[in-house]
């Protein structure tokens, strides 16, 4: 996959050296040599989790694979460089540079107190094991027992409206109150709002990465990554030193969906990475939930398409919990307390009495001129020219008023269209 040496990564200093190093054998059914072999195989470019699983199945065990149980000439379906690397490994596992990378990776994991979880480890995410292309091992920083809780994934656009950000944080807080682990991809926008919402609620959250555990993306989320670890974990299937590549995002997205009972899409355009995650969820027999929006907002188009395709339309946490309860029982996971779910019902609804009261209080604090502009905008995104026409009496310096409303978070502009936003 890559030839980077973990201890030379420019970004690995984000994790401090651990004074009490974690031991990867505390519950792990594999020896260090077995782990080294699996990590070394991960470093073979283009091999992938499915091919690795097929190799292990054909050999019967990792020991048999190391011992030469497979004839290199039997390997099919790989590009020439990848096939050559695999053949070299099968002939002399300990003599290839991938083996040395794997040994350095295990040393780095111990020094930073991070973990590697193999598929057979009881702490490995239960739902992830159901995937046909489940990784043979994953890397984790934070609480190794994070995935003992049932998880719901929340994803969306990297540029959400202020209202979508606020909705996400409230939704996540209510789902957390019900005992659900909040999972996302730590991207800009809705992903970050989901993690932040869980952290503010003092609840657990998990971030799935498309890079190695020693490389943070996006770089400006270094602080967020540390807070996520304090409240849960970050996890990746990519070996240490794996840099960011566009083709790794779909692989990350399939884990975001596969690790959870369902995926919530808050805002998404057509096309988008969030829809890729939702499609993976549908293929993996996970639930797909979508938040509706204005038909004039391009960031709602993806959610509306999902709803047309069969996704569950949601307005609040209870819409999700009503479905999740049965799924948890079916998967053998700890059931959500019904009393708890009743307490969070309808707290996040876009048309709840709380939101209506907040809207009324907000409007009452505005000047008559500002209220007139807000009324002229209405509830759907509209162009500047239409606002002007609706203000028959006119408003002095309409542009300045709109800017002021935008700065206050009352109005937002998406694609040149103005819309109202409320907490």
Residues (pLDDT < 70) of the chain are: 1-14, 16-26, 72-74, 328-359, 393, 422-423
- Other beta carbons less than 10 A from residue 339's beta carbon: 7
Q: Report pLDDT digits (tens) over 354-388.
A: 555 656 777 788 888 898 898 888 777 788 989 98
Closest of 97, 8, 104 to residue 44, by C-alpha: 97
Q: Please state, rounded to an integer, the average pLDDT across all residues of the chain.
A: 85
- Write down all domains in the chain, each with its CATH number in brackets: 6-20+32-112 (no CATH), 146-349 (3.40.50.450), 354-420 (1.10.10.10)
Q: Report pLDDT digits (tens) over 311-321.
A: 999 999 999 99
Give every CB contact of residue 61 below 8 A, 6+ residues apart in sequence: none
Instruction: Answer positive or negative: Cα dihedral of 39, 41, 45, 48.
Output: negative
Q: How is residue 211 written in tokens? A: 């890079």
pLDDT score recorded for residue 351: 44
Query: How many Å apart are CA 207 and CA 69, to the nearest integer?
Result: 37
Q: How is residue 325 written in tokens? A: 């309860």
Question: pTM of the prediction?
Answer: 0.82
């Amino acid at each position: 996959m890559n030839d980077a040496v973990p201890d030379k990564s420019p970004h690995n200093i984000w994790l401090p050296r651990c004074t009490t190093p974690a031991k990867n054998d505390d519950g792990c059914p594999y020896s260090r040599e077995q782990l080294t072999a699996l990590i070394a195989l991960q470093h073979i470019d283009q091999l992938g989790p499915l091919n690795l699983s097929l190799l292990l199945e054909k050999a019967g065990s990792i020991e048999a694979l190391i011992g030469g149980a497979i004839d290199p000439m039997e390997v099919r379906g790989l590009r020439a460089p990848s096939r050559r690397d695999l053949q070299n490994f099968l002939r002399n596992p300990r003599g290839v540079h991938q083996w040395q990378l794997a040994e350095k990776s295990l040393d780095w994991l111990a020094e930073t107190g991070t973990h590697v979880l193999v598929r057979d480890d009881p702490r490995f995410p239960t739902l992830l094991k159901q995937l046909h292309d489940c990784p043979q091992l994953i890397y984790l920083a934070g609480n190794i027992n994070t995935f003992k809780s049932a998880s719901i994934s929340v994803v969306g656009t990297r540029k959400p409206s202020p209202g979508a950000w606020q909705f996400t944080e409230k939704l996540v807080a209510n789902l957390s109150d019900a005992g659900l682990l909040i999972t996302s991809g730590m991207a800009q926008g809705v992903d970050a709002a989901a993690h932040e919402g869980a952290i503010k609620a003092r609840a657990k959250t998990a971030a799935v990465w498309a890079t190695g555990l020693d490389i943070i993306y996006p770089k400006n989320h270094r602080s967020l990554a540390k807070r996520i670890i304090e409240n849960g974990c970050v996890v990746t299937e990519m070996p240490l030193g794996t840099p960011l590549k566009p083709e790794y995002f779909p692989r990350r997205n399939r884990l975001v969906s596969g690790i959870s009972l369902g995926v919530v899409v808050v805002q998404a355009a057509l096309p988008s990475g969030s829809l890729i995650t939702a499609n993976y969820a549908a293929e993996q027999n996970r639930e797909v939930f979508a938040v509706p929006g204005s038909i004039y907002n391009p960031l709602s188009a993806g959610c509306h398409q999902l709803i047309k395709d069969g996704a569950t339309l949601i307005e609040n946490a209870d819409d999700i919990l009503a479905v999740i309860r049965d799924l948890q029982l079916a998967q053998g996971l700890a059931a959500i307390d019904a009393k708890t779910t009743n307490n969070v019902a309808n707290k996040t609804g876009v048309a709840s009495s709380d939101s209506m009261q907040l809207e009324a209080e907000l409007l009452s604090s505005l000047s008559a001129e500002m209220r007139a502009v807000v009324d002229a905008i209405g509830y759907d995104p509209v162009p500047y020219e239409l606002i002007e026409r609706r203000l028959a009496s006119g408003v002095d310096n309409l542009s300045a008023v709109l800017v002021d409303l935008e700065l206050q978070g009352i109005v937002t502009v998406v694609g040149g269209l103005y819309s109202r936003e409320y907490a």
